Structures are given as C-alpha cells and as structure tokens.
Amino acid sequence: MILKMAWKNIFRYKRRTLVTASAIAFGVLFTVLFDALIFGISNESEINILEYETPGAKLLADGYFEEIKKLPMDYLIEENDSSKIISYLESKKLPYTKEIQTECEIYFNEDYFETSGSMAGIVSALDCEKAKDVFSLHESIESGTWLKKEADGSACTGAVVGSWMADDMKAQPGYFITVQCKGRGGFSQTIDVPIIGIIHCPNMAINSSYIFMDIDYIDEMLAMEKAVTAIDVGLGGGGLADRNFKRFSAEIKKTDLLHNGPELKSWRDIQADILSVDDMYSLYCNVIMAFMFIIAAVGISNTMLMSVMERRNEIAMLKAMGYSSFYVKRLFMWEGVSIGIVGCIIGCTVACLLNIPLSAKGIDFTSTLSTVSFGYRISGLIKSGWDIPGFIRVTLGALLVAGAAAFIPTNSILKKEVADIFRKN
C-alpha cells in the first residue's frame, strides 16, 4: 500500500519529479561512464601485457628475477635444464618459446636513413614459429614480415622493430641497423642486421623499445651455447592466465625440474611494477569518482530537500489525520527511492548507449601516448569496458542517497507540532 502511494505521488508532482530524477540521472551517467572507462583501460592494459610482452608464466634462472630490470646475462638456464623443461611442457601440450632478452643500443647512419643517431632498446630473441603460439606479435606486423627461417632451415638474420622506433629513425623494411649488446660473459657484440618487419601493436612498450630477432641467430652471435634467459609459457589471456598458472605451478612443483634450478614466476610477478602503477591510477580514479559521486549526491540532496520542504503542509496534514511518524517517514523515503529508481534507469540507459561506441571503437589517443607514458600498456586506442559490479555500486549508492535525502528532512519536520508547521508557513 505504502509503495503504491509513494509511486502515485512521484507522478502527481511531475515537474518536481523530473528535476530530481534529472539530477540523479546526470550523477549516475557521469559516474558510470568514468568507471567504465577506467575499467576498460585497466583490462586492456592487462590483455596487452599477456598477448605481446609477458606470457602467463616464465621460467627464469635462479637469481635472475632479483635483477630482472637490468636484463642481466649472468643468470642463464643452461641447455641441459632447458631441454628437460621443454620436454615436460611438450608432454603437457603447453605452448612455449625459449627467449634471450638483453638491453641494446641501436645505431643508424646516413647510408640508409635521413640522419645518423642511436637509441636504446631491448633485444628479444624468440623461436620464430613457437612464439606464434605464445604471443600475438606476428599478427601485428605493419609492414614487412615476421621472423622466419631461411629456405634451407638456417637462422633468420633479420630484425623486426617497434613502429614508434621505426618512426623515430624514419626506417623501412630493407634498411640496415647496427645493434650493440652484451653477450654471454659480458663481452660486447656488434651486429649489423636488416629490418625485415615493423610491428605496431596495442602495447606501447613493444612499439617504443623492442627489437625481435631469431633466437638461433642470437645464440650464435652472443655465444650463448644454447643457454637462454627465460622460457615463456602461454597460459591463455585475462583471468584464464591466473587460474591456469595456479594449476601449472602446482603440477610442475611435483617434479624435480625446479629443484636447485630455474624459478617459476607468473606474469603478475614479472610485471609487478606496471601493475602497481595500474593500482595507483585505479586508486586515484576511485578518489576522483568518489568526488564526482559526492557532487552528484549534493545535487540529489538539494533537489530532494527542496521537494520535501515544499510539502511541509502535506506532511503536517498526514500527521493531523492520524498517520504515524514512522509511516510518513517511510512514505517520503520510498518516494525518494522511487524517484532515484527513475533517475537511475535514465542515467544507466544513457550511459549504456554512450558506452557501446566507447567500448567497440574507443577514442584514439595515439598522437599523445606516442610521446607520453602514463603507466598503462596501451598504445593509443582507449576503450571503455562493461563493469557490471561498478554499475550496481553506483546505482545502489544513488538510491541510498535519494532515500536518505528524503528521510532526513521529513524526520526533522515531524519532530514539530502540527500547529507549529502550519504557523511557520
């Protein structure tokens, strides 16, 4: 009965209901869209890490992880250990690739390029074919080709470079660059290689810093003697990677492969710094979203307060007719919640309609992100996501504010005598 009366009242005061519901709708609209955008960016960043940079799991030599930022060549998985691990991975039918990763300096001169210069980069040497099962790098070639063996089966002697590096050098496939890096034991090696492909992917780190080469060629040039810096294991994307890592970790620890040998690390361990930046940005964004919600709540409270105060006589009349204070409080609270429901329906509907193109096509910030890094592993196209729990939190919060904003002034008015309420009017 009380809900029916509350519902009728909100349509009896159409203009007042429209003003209050509009305030709620705008608050819900902007808060939901902001939450969806942050959720989408964070989710896209994690996907781009798994698909292009760090797979679900990495096997590293003992001691390597502590100095992983330096990409040292002092801690290696020797051929004997890597062969055992690879045999195990193949028996489990898990995608993998051996990897040699080291810092490098890339030189280019006027023989091929408009100017001479150099830039810092990262050499990532992978198995040409097996890398396709772990990463999506080969699907993001902008021009040229991905790494592939020669017709006679010999190692590929070319390099695939990130698109932003290529843009900085004004490079094209066929141009030669000189890569200087450290080999096994710390000796300096200089390698002249042709660019055979340029990669442009959603991960900004790949575009700006990475140069990919055939692991067999790098093994020879850096005198690695079949040793590697890591073995990458693909465990799927998104939430699958975390669930599969727990299962894989439990299974491999039952063997003797990790006893006094390589360490197993998840992608979250490897990318802890990037994920901590994500968490920091998420915290900042949550604070901003809280302020946005407070501003919306103030607007909702003001309009709801005015709505209740304008109906002081009605409240006094209900009290004079014998309705209990508890009944009147509930009536106005449910009116507030009902108006909140109308506002939330409008706000969420508009937010969903706007979020459809934002999640499907996104907003292109390539020109900005190519020069400025803000922590997330995205290269330019920013898409929102569908954070259903976020939608629910915002909606419930708006309903709570609407109900409280109606209940508090009603409670204040009901404390006065009926005659005092009419006299003040």
- Token pair of 130 as six digits: 């097996």
What integer pLDDT is reported at residue 106 of this predicted model?
Answer: 93
- Token pair of 161 as six digits: 């470079």
* CA distance to 129, 153, 262, per residue, from 156 (Å): 11, 9, 28
Select from 83, 9, 39 the least CA-distant residue to 391: 39
> What backbone phi and psi angles, to 5 degrees, belong to 205?
-65, -40
Select from 82, 118, 112 the least CA-distant residue to 100: 82
Q: Report how far residue 243's alpha carbon sits from residue 247's, in angstroms, rounded to the nearest whole number.
A: 7
Residues 339 and 402: beta-carbon distance below 8 Å:
yes
Q: Report how far residue 422's alpha carbon sits from residue 312's, in angstroms, rounded to the nearest whole number.
A: 8
**Model-level pTM?**
0.78
What integer pLDDT is reported at residue 299 of this predicted model?
Answer: 62
What integer pLDDT is reported at residue 186 of this predicted model?
Answer: 81
Rounded to the nearest 10°, the torsion over CA 82, 85, 86, 91 is: 160
Q: Report how far residue 220's alpha carbon sits from residue 213's, in angstroms, rounded to the nearest whole number.
A: 12
> What backbone phi and psi angles, to 5 degrees, belong to 114?
-65, -35
Per-residue pLDDT reduced to its tens digit, 372-390: 566 677 777 777 788 788 7
Residues 83 and 113: beta-carbon distance below 8 Å:
no
Residues 302 and 376: beta-carbon distance below 8 Å:
no
**Domain spans of the chain, in order of start:** 1-49+275-423, 57-234
Which regions in the chain score pLDDT beneath 50? none
